[in-house]
């Protein structure tokens, strides 16, 4: 598997920042005792380094990982929930 360095990729940095912001301000983050901000950051960073850029997938995978369930698959061909209008605006900002 090819590792991607987010330090030289502005889109990776933007996605990482958005994912961390969204996860850390989500109510599920505050009610779960099983995850810390550092754990979430490390997990999301690892996914970004593997090349993942889907914001919804990064967030869902982090919550599933720390809720004890299996992380969502990292294949773009799998079906995912429909993006919200908020997600659409974010992806427009990043283009």
**pLDDT 10s digits, 31-86:** 766 678 888 899 999 999 999 999 999 999 998 888 764 444 555 544 444 444 45
Backbone angles phi, psi at 81, to 5 degrees: -60, 150
- Rounded Cα distance, 82 and 88, in Å: 10
Query: What is the reported pLDDT for 54?
Result: 93
Kindly report whether the global pTM for this prediction surpasses the value 0.75.
no
């Amino acid at each position: 598997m090819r590792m991607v360095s987010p330090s030289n990729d502005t889109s990776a940095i933007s996605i990482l920042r958005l994912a961390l912001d969204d996860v850390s301000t989500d109510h599920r983050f505050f009610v779960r005792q099983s995850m810390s901000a550092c754990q979430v950051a490390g997990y999301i960073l690892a996914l970004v380094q593997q090349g993942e850029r889907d914001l919804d997938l990064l967030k869902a995978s982090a919550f599933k990982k720390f809720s004890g369930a299996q992380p969502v698959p990292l294949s773009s061909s799998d079906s995912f929930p429909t993006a919200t209008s908020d997600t659409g605006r974010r992806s427009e900002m990043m283009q």
